[in-house]
Amino acid sequence: MKTNHEIDYFIQGEEMQLVEIELDPQETVIAEAGAFMYMDNGIQMETIFGDGSTQQNSGFFGKILGAGKRLLTGESLFMTAYTHMGIGKARVAFASPYPGKIIPLDLSELGGKIICQKDSFLCAAKGVSVGIEFQRKLGTGLFGGEGFIMQKLEGDGLAFCHAGGHIVKRTLRAGDILRVDTGCIVAYTQSIDYDIQFIGGIKNTLFGGEGMFFATLKGPGEVWLQTLPISRLASRILAYGSGARKEEGSILGGLGNLLDGDGR
């Protein structure tokens, strides 16, 4: 028997998606601040401390500890709960923060736990615990960058993550190893072994342009990858907005700027 609320959902859109959650009376969905788009009459909003899961019903200090850990992932101490207080069915929708796809994750079919990037969680059925996951290996902590502190989603309900660009799902068999840019990882099941690998060779280090470290994911388990990490998108926008154009790998960069009207 499931302990989390059972919700139905509909994902709409292509590049800028939204997920519409259908609630029965007294059903609740939790979401990060800023994800809300619209809701039907009869749904009541409430700001809650932490995620409202049973793991936080351990007294006042337990709630402070559970919610406070969220600060390490850059998230708020508070979340918003949307509860259907009327009769019949009602819907509430949450929108993507940037171009990409919304990934539905049924935790009851994924071992009860998913580890995801700290900015990817969108919303979940009430009862799903949203916490932090430290990568315990020294190499990951020193060099992992985006992958060192991640979020963990635990429970047996539905959770929704958002990723940038196109989504690739890979199923790794026991012993399979996948090397990935740390920013391109969206989520993976708890059975995946995560580590950081140094890219040897002086040419790679100085001229590779892709950084000196890869994340290595070792099966068995499932992995979700994104083609457009938000950090990569932000750095490109910043590069164009600052006026200092960087034409990667092109000796004709200056000529290109002149031809496209940027002759500075």
CATH number of the domain enclosing 233: 3.60.160.10
Chain centre to alpha carbon of residue 78? 17
Q: Which amino acid is at 109?
A: E
Query: Which residue positions in the chain have pLDDT lower than 50?
Result: 56-57, 59-61, 63-65, 67-68, 70-74, 138, 140-147, 247-252, 254-256, 258-261, 263-264
Residue at 249 is within a domain: no
d(CA 239, CA 155): 41
pLDDT of 135 reads 62
Residue at 251 is within a domain: no
How many distinct structural domains can be found in the chain?
1
Q: Which domain holds residue 134?
A: 8-244
Residue at 111 is within a domain: yes
Predicted TM-score (pTM) of the model is: 0.79
Closest by CA to 155, choosing from 110, 221, 196, 203, is: 110
Residue at 258 is within a domain: no
pLDDT of 192 reads 95
Residue-wise pLDDT for 230-259, tens only, equals: 777 777 788 777 655 554 444 445 444 544
pLDDT of 215 reads 87
Residue at 254 is within a domain: no
Residue at 171 is within a domain: yes
Task: Assign 3-class secondary structure to the chain.
Answer: CCCCCCCEEEEECCCCCEEEEEECCCCEEEECCCCEEEECCCEEEEEEECCCCHHHCCCHHHHHHHHHHHHHHCCCCEEEEEEECCCCCEEEEEECCCCEEEEEEEHHHCCCEEEECCCCEEEEECCCEEEEEECCCHHHHHHCHHHCEEEEEECCCEEEEEEECCEEEEEECCCCEEEECHHHEEEEECCCEEEEEECCCHHHHHHCCCCCEEEEEECCEEEEEECCCHHHHHHHHHHHHCCCCCCCCCCCHHHHHHHCCCCC
Residue at 227 is within a domain: yes
Residue-wise pLDDT for 54-86, tens only, equals: 654 454 445 444 544 544 444 556 789 999 999
pLDDT of 212 reads 65
Residue at 186 is within a domain: yes
